[in-house]
Amino acid sequence: MTELLSLSDKAVEPYFLGERQLRHYNEPGEGLFIAESPNVISRALDAGYQPVSFLVQRRYAENSMNGILDRFDVPVYTGSDELLSGIRGFDMVRGALCAMKRRPLPAVGEVLDGVSRVAVLENIVNPSNTGAVFRSAAALGMEAVLLSHGSADPLSRRAARVAMGTVFQIPWTYYDDIAEIKSCGFTLAALALTDSAVSIDDCGLENTERLAVVTGTEGEGLSAETIAACDMSVIIPMYNGVDSLNAAAASAVAFYRLGKRRF
d(Cα 140, Cα 137) in Å, to the nearest integer?
5
Domain regions of the chain by residue span: 2-101, 108-258
pLDDT digits (tens, 9 = 90+) for 80-135: 777 777 776 665 556 789 999 999 999 999 999 999 999 999 999 999 999 999 99
Residue 244: per-residue pLDDT:
80
Contact 65, 98 (CB under 8 A): no
52: pLDDT confidence band, cut at 50, 70 and 90? very high
Among residues 109, 110, 151, the alpha carbon closest in space to that of 251 is found at: 151
CATH code for the domain defined by 2-101: 3.30.1330.30
Contact 30, 68 (CB under 8 A): no
Q: Are 134 and 161 in contact (CB under 8 A)?
A: no
Contact 159, 128 (CB under 8 A): yes
Residue 51, pLDDT score: 96
What is the reported pTM? 0.90
Q: Where are the beta strands (DSSP E) in the chain?
A: 2-3, 32-36, 51-57, 76-79, 96-101, 117-121, 144-147, 172-174, 187-191, 198-199, 211-215, 232-235
Is the domain spanning 108-258 CATH 3.30.460.80? The answer is: no
Provide the pLDDT for residue 187: 96
Mean pLDDT of 190-197: 91
In the chain, the amino acid numbered 8 is S
Closest CA to 122 of 223, 193, 200: 223
Sequence-ordered list of residues with C-beta below 8 angstroms from that of 20, at least 6 positions apart, any chain: none
